Amino acid sequence: MRRRKAIALMAATAFGGVLAPPLFASPALAAPCEEPLVYGSPANQLPRQLWPEERLNYVDAWTHTRGKGVKVAIVDSGVDTSHPQLRGRVAPYDVTRSGLQDCVGHGTQVAGIIGGRDLRAQGISFFGVAPEAQLISVKMAVKSQGNDSRWTPLAIRKAVDLGAKVINISSQSPDLPDLRRAVAYAQRHDVVIVSVAGNLTDEQKQTPEKSYPASYPGVISVGALSKDGKLAGFSNTVTPVTVTAPGQAVVSTWPRDAYKADDGTSLAAPYVAGTAVLIRSFNPRLTYLQVKERIERTADGAQVQGTGSGVVNPLRAVTTVSTGAAPAAPAGAHRVSIDQPPPEDHLGKVLALSFTAAALTAAAAIGTAALITPAGRRRNWRPGA
């Protein structure tokens, strides 16, 4: 097997972007996309059913809410706002001063999982958790490596000031003062922050470290569930985990009207962020800590270290009776990564999606499947140095 290249992104600092002036000294201007974006696969190659939608069954929660009235921010690499499942749904912003395009594709994936519109009537099997949420994209990364470490804190603050009540941060960072302050700023404004437990790469398996902002008090930290219902082998167990969600062979939206399969805790987090959106839409009086507690208490049973309270259960999280709030949560350039899929050993060489029709068998646990097969090298993300 060819080894996948592990990709690190660095996050951000000066508040601003294309629609607001910076509050602090602005980092150097970032260039437009410096790396070619791989192609995904067209909608007509999607399997008829996708395992995360079946496992979480979040459509059951839609009889109560689809996320209407809640703003959710995707602090990531930007979003392709022209994608059919995202078109007209995303308000894009940028703190990198490089333009609004998604140069990496990752933010488009995260946005689709959180709020991709339901197009099943058109034969599209993929759909987001909260398809009526108001999506905000705050771009904080422009390429695979060498991004400014100050951009993530700025993006968090920007999202808060834009009125986001849920923020998804599928990135890993050291414990930086600006990041701590930005998370505290969001929590003072009663914002739910969902982030990633992180992936273990070959280089880290002997010395895993905590991932931030996931390890901060009050942040919902998400580990990755594999297709067999167990904790994925790449999911970091050193970071304190709140809950798990599907993070292996996850199909989502991809730039150029395409779809792609990836794995990693970065794709597990948006399922939980979408669930937080549903909760806040159905019961907007809950505080961010009550939302976190509700997600924990309604999860489907912990298994081992690294699974937290278990697998997120959107329907139960939305409909359960409130249990009260938990206790209140309390410079230089560093390499910070958008959390991306683990090394090739865990899933194979998938980068662009490609689906091969699979024969149905009597032994199948569910009456559907289309195997997702490699269509090129896939990118991986890992925490930077």
Active-site residues: which are they? 76, 106, 266
HEC assignment per residue over 294-306: HHHHCCECCCCCC
Task: Compute the half-sphere exposure of residue 292: CA atoms within 13 Å on the CB side of its CA.
Answer: 29
Vertex 72: Cα angle to 277 and 114 (nearest 5) = 65
Look at the block and give the residue holding tokens 């062979």: 249
Tell me how far CA of residue 18 lies from CA of 271, 324, 356, in angstroms. 28, 40, 42
Give 261's strand partners.
251
Closest CA to 246 of 265, 218, 260, 220: 265
Q: What are phi and psi of 261, to 5 degrees?
A: -100, 135
CA–CA separation, 86 and 78 (whole Å): 12
Cα dihedral 127→131→134→140 (10° resolution): -20
- Decide: 229 and 219 in contact? Cβ < 8 Å: no
CA–CA separation, 197 and 199 (whole Å): 7
How many CB atoms are located within 10 Å of the residue 174 CB?
A: 16
With a CB cutoff of 8 Å and minimum separation 6, the contacts of 120 are 127
With a CB cutoff of 8 Å and minimum separation 6, the contacts of 62 are none
CA–CA separation, 347 and 196 (whole Å): 19
Q: Report the length, in residues, of the chain.
A: 385
- Decide: 277 and 269 in contact? Cβ < 8 Å: no
Radius of gyration of the CA atoms of the chain, in A = 19
